[in-house]
Amino acid sequence: MTERIVVVGAALFDGDHLLAARRSAPPALAGRWELPGGKVERGETPEAALTRELQEELGVDAEPMTRVPGEWPLKPPYVLQVWTARLLPGSPTPKPLQDHDELRWLTQDELWDVNWLDQDVEAIHALTNL
Ligand SMILES: Nc1nc2c([nH]c(=O)n2[C@H]2C[C@H](O)[C@@H](COP(=O)(O)OP(=O)(O)OP(=O)(O)O)O2)c(=O)[nH]1
């Protein structure tokens, strides 16, 4: 059976604002917006991967909250799963340290103001149904 690798995306909320991150690489994805996160490593839980990726990419201390129902196919063998997440008290504010060159906190009215990666559009819709 083909190996399937989960990419975790964080729907990081501050109140009702959602953090969107603009990718700086690779060229095919640069300039498009996504949920920060990354690949789950062998032997790692998705929740641990999410915490690690948010620390590496944004420099924050965050905790995953709930899994958003659904799973979205990316380029094989990757699939996207999404967790809501929040910053822990005392966490630094997010900064685009790695993989991103801009961050935006979106209100519900601004949710579609950014050019999400095609693969993320369904996941963002699922978020709005929570
Ligand atoms: N993080 C993230 N990746 C996404 C999303 N949507 C989407 O198609 N992808 C793709 C982009 C990449 O091809 C792949 C995840 O790669 P990544 O570069 O974020 O993961 P990573 O930090 O573990 O990468 P690596 O450089 O260590 O290999 O999934 C999304 O919302 N968040």
**Ligand 1 pocket residue status of 117, Cβ below 6 Å:** yes
Longest dimension (CA), the chain: 44
CB 58, CB 96: distance < 8 Å = yes
Reading the chain (130 residues) residue by residue, the pLDDT tens digits are 578 999 999 999 999 999 999 999 999 999 999 999 999 999 999 999 999 999 999 999 999 999 999 999 999 999 999 999 999 999 999 999 999 999 999 999 999 999 999 999 999 999 998 8
Say what the pLDDT of residue 1 is: 58
Domains parsed from the chain with CATH numbers: 5-128 (3.90.79.10)
Q: Which atom of ligand 1 is nearest to the CA of 29?
A: 11
Q: Which of 86, 117, 119 is nearest to 19 (CA)?
A: 86
99 lines ligand 1 (CB under 6 A): yes
Helices within the chain (DSSP H only): 46-58, 121-128
**What's the pTM?**
0.94
Residue 130 pLDDT? 81
Cα–Cα distances in angstroms (integers) from residue 72 to residues 23, 80, 95, 97, 121, in the given order? 19, 5, 26, 26, 10
